[in-house]
Amino acid sequence: MEYRKLGQSDLNVSAICLGTMTYGDQNTEAEGHEQLDYALAQGINFIDTAEMYPVPPKADTVTRTETIIGSWLKKQARDKIILASKVAGGNRKMEWIRGGPQAVDRANVRAAIEGSLKRLQTDYLDLYQIHWPERNVPIFGQYQFDPSKEKEWVSIHNQLETLAELVKEGKVRYIGVSNEQPWGVMEFIRLSNQYNLPRIASIQNSYSLLNRGFEFGMTEIAYREQLSLTAYSPLAFGHLTGKYIDNPKAQGRVNLFPGYAQRYTKPNVTPASAAYAELARKHGLTPTELALGFVYHRWFVTSTIIGATSLPQLTENIGAWQTPLSSEIMQEIEHIHLRYMNPAP
């Protein structure tokens, strides 16, 4: 396994991060522990979760994922694990999380961190992230900024001040953002520099063959500001495994949770997925190996977050690290990309 520095922090994270959003819904506690043990044995030291997991979020399952990780973590050498979690932002209708949550304000953040630490059975998090912006931004399948949706929101300065308290108290080592836009990333960096507040080490955004939006402006920020991308959904909700091309009714998240992931309901998702699956098989690869091999080895991706509902899936996903893509395959990928430009933004 390869290890890389996370932003300007002193965290050396594995190039593959274990995502856990299925624990507590699609995966039992025993299955979650089995995956965690296997990932650790493969050299993965980076684990990502969130207070709202499992996904899709529901009142009767919320926080189960952190609880499952916590019962495993208490048996591990804590200093060998780099553990990341997230505080739910505002603007989403999830009344079962602190009555909203309405804002990324001091009260909500402090309540969230205390809950996460208790469930995870640890005194600190290595990385604490804001799950999505509270302000009006196009996310989760939206792709156009709409000024008519403007609302009041807690300033980024105030968000940073609250996170600074957690860092000072030792509850959080480093901070990050998720599902962010270029303006927000630059504001976090500007304000941290101006007011000597903690600097974001990473941004966790969706990135895959079907969603390469990060390349439009954000890669330059990541390069010049030494900001790490931890890429999620590299298999695009399973679309890039090829299973839905072969069998549209295949068992998986698309059919278990129809309509949940808005970005994958757009018209060019299926033809693009089929084109990438055909390319993979032409070169003797599985569609999964092609999709993960692409994301794993992009110069601006520090760590790729993978998830699975079975150990064989996890084994294949981790094994794809050993499948670098040739220049010929990369060129063919670009041809498909230009034909189906970001069908799942």
E runs forming strands in the chain? 3-5, 12-14, 16-19, 46-48, 82-87, 125-130, 172-178, 200-204, 228-231, 301-306
Has 53 been annotated as catalytic?
yes
Q: Rounded to an integer, what distance in angstroms lies between the CA atom of residue 88 and that of residue 104?
A: 8
Angle at 41 (CA atoms; ends 20, 299), nearest 5 degrees? 70
Angle at 16 (CA atoms; ends 174, 126), nearest 5 degrees? 20
> Per the residue annotation, which of 53, 232, 244, 340 is the catalytic one?
53
User: 172: Cβ–Cβ under 8 A, 6 or more apart, which residues?
Assistant: 113, 124, 125, 127, 128, 163, 166
Retrieve residue 68's tokens.
Answer: 């499952």
Q: Rounded to an integer, what distance in angstroms lies between the CA atom of residue 151 and that of residue 341?
A: 31
Q: Which residue is associated with the tokens 């998702």? A: 269
E runs forming strands in 214-315? 228-231, 301-306
E runs forming strands in 82-199? 82-87, 125-130, 172-178
Residues classed as catalytic? 53
